[in-house]
Amino acid sequence: MDLVQVMKALSDETRIRILNILKDEELCVCEIEVILNINQSNASRHLNKLTNAKILDYYKVTKYVYYRINEEIIKEYPFISEIMRTHATKMNKCNDDYKRLKKYRESGLSCDDLKEGKVDFNIYTK
């Protein structure tokens, strides 16, 4: 993968936020939208940039697309892990996103619930 393309993909706050919530697990697009509080087109645009740079992998299960960090690119460019481990944690938005991810996981909601609009808890409070 081209280093310039990787660096360009990393040069956006929303994409850093996406990587931050994917650092420990894979997530569906609808989960990423809810946790980051962004709309579908915005999420897709940023996910496409990260996927085109080979930073993310994805797979489909029925109607859902799941994203995860591509471990091969991490081996090729270990500074990406360093960014996630030390620098993203210094960003307030990344810390807030991680708290929302935890609340989402504790809620027991699924992608089906999100698609049906059953977000009946407030993950946007601190």
Q: What CATH number does residue 25 fall under? A: 1.10.10.10
Please write the tens of the pLDDT for every residue from 70-116. 999 999 999 999 988 888 888 899 999 999 999 988 988 888 888 77
Domain that includes residue 69, residue range: 3-108
Asked if residue 64 is part of any domain, the answer here is yes
- The token duo for 57 is 């992998």
Q: How many domains does the chain have?
A: 1
Amino acid, res. 126: K
Of 56, 97, 98, 57, give the one whose Cα is nearest residue 80: 56
The answer to pTM > 0.85 is yes
- DSSP alpha helices (H): ranges in the chain? 3-10, 13-22, 29-36, 40-52, 71-76, 79-82, 92-107, 111-115
Cβ atoms of residues 80 and 94 within 8 Å: no
